[in-house]
Structure 1
């Protein structure tokens, strides 16, 4: 990947930082469905997402999944930036839900990047701040809201991120919300009857949402 392409994705980085990242980083590709990180693994790299979408979630003792957030083009995993520097293991699982291209920056360079490049320092802080804020919002809806409110919050995040039409199954939504497919299907049909969404096979379209 050229410096020009990298700069277009991360315009907040100056030419010196871009050049450094080009030298120390390696472009890595992941297929749809591939696991990028498992719980308990040590971080070897911090990934800057160049293309595609990555789903991050917590995995329960019985294998259940709790959806946290997505990483998309121009984003990075805040936990890998913070925990890697302390040689801590991952507490999350990450899966590519589309084909993904990322710049893998080895963790051994994290300290130097923080000290030598103010743009990287601010990027790490802003990434961590925005993800923490997003997680607080998720926790608020999980703890204090009913399932129909959780579903509306979930769909709004999807629409805001992906556009007015999203490709997703009822089963996948149920997994993300730690619910059953039957409950999610019933609530989606309720939203459709209110003409807020339109449902077709593996697709949901935003109408008055």
Structure 2
């Protein structure tokens, strides 16, 4: 395992003993952009800790349409997968690599054991729940109260923060799927945002101004 990377991303959250245990039992896996890391109805045997990259967490309706819930960044874990593991139920979300990503996978039994025996792990999990809960409330507020053009602009701003770049490489269809709408609607709204001088469009690229 890349010990330096593990220390860099998690030393502020975990004590030294816990990091050493993760180095021993953790399994490092790499994923390419758009790879599915966790799928809906999958039985979860490992908890992911994100070392590098970004992951988007999606829900799916009865017709197979996806809705973006939140993004994971390096140094974070997916609390919805934690909930499934604690309840020994199958995954209710899909986790997809937003860009090339590297994770360390923790066997479920250790996650449960550490919650009882390690204060730094317990605090990390509880804080992760709070962060994700706040983000899901924000997602609900966006769906309920924001118009689609406002949701789209907020989505693009979030993307620039995740990628640490004002220029985003993304297709209109991909945005439509994340926001649970049609490509035609997204293309029209992107043009509207460009006319308002909020973005600049080019082929498969969007510059947020």
Please indicate the TM-score interval, normalised by the length of the shorter structure: over 0.9
Gaps of 5+ in 2: none
1:10-29 matches, cutoff 5 A: 10-12=10-12, 13-29=14-30
CA RMSD in angstroms comes to 1.3
User: What TM-score results when the alignment is normalised by the length of structure 2?
Assistant: 0.93
User: What TM-score results when the alignment is normalised by the length of structure 1?
Assistant: 0.93
Q: Residues 5 and 51 of structure 2 are in contact (CA less than 8 Å); yes or no, is this contact kept in structure 1?
A: no
Q: Residues 3 and 19 of structure 1 are in contact (CA less than 8 Å); yes or no, is this contact kept in structure 2?
A: no
- Separation (CA, whole Å) in 2 of partners of 1:54 and 1:203: 20
Gaps of 5+ in 1: none
1:200 match: 202
1:85 match: 86
- Separation (CA, whole Å) in 2 of partners of 1:164 and 1:32: 19
Larger deviation, residues 175-184 vs 93-102: 93-102
Matched residue of 2:41: which SS?
A: coil
Q: Residues 58 and 94 of structure 2 are in contact (CA less than 8 Å); yes or no, is this contact kept in structure 1?
A: yes
- Separation (CA, whole Å) in 2 of partners of 1:115 and 1:136: 28
Q: Residues 56 and 97 of structure 2 are in contact (CA less than 8 Å); yes or no, is this contact kept in structure 1?
A: yes
Note the alpha carbon deviations across 1:117-147, whole angstroms, 9 max, x for none.
Answer: 2111111011111011011101111112221
1:40 match: 41
Note the alpha carbon deviations across 1:94-122, whole angstroms, 9 max, x for none.
Answer: 12232221000000111221122211111
Q: Residues 27 and 102 of structure 1 are in contact (CA less than 8 Å); yes or no, is this contact kept in structure 2?
A: yes
Deviation, 1:171, is 0.9
Q: Residues 192 and 199 of structure 1 are in contact (CA less than 8 Å); yes or no, is this contact kept in structure 2?
A: yes
1:150-165 matches, cutoff 5 A: 150-162=151-163, 163-165=165-167
Q: Residues 57 and 65 of structure 1 are in contact (CA less than 8 Å); yes or no, is this contact kept in structure 2?
A: yes
Report how many aligned residue pairs link the two structures: 207
Larger deviation, residues 193-202 vs 1-10: 1-10
- Separation (CA, whole Å) in 2 of partners of 1:81 and 1:93: 13
Is residue 147 of structure 2 the alignment partner of residue 146 of structure 1?
yes
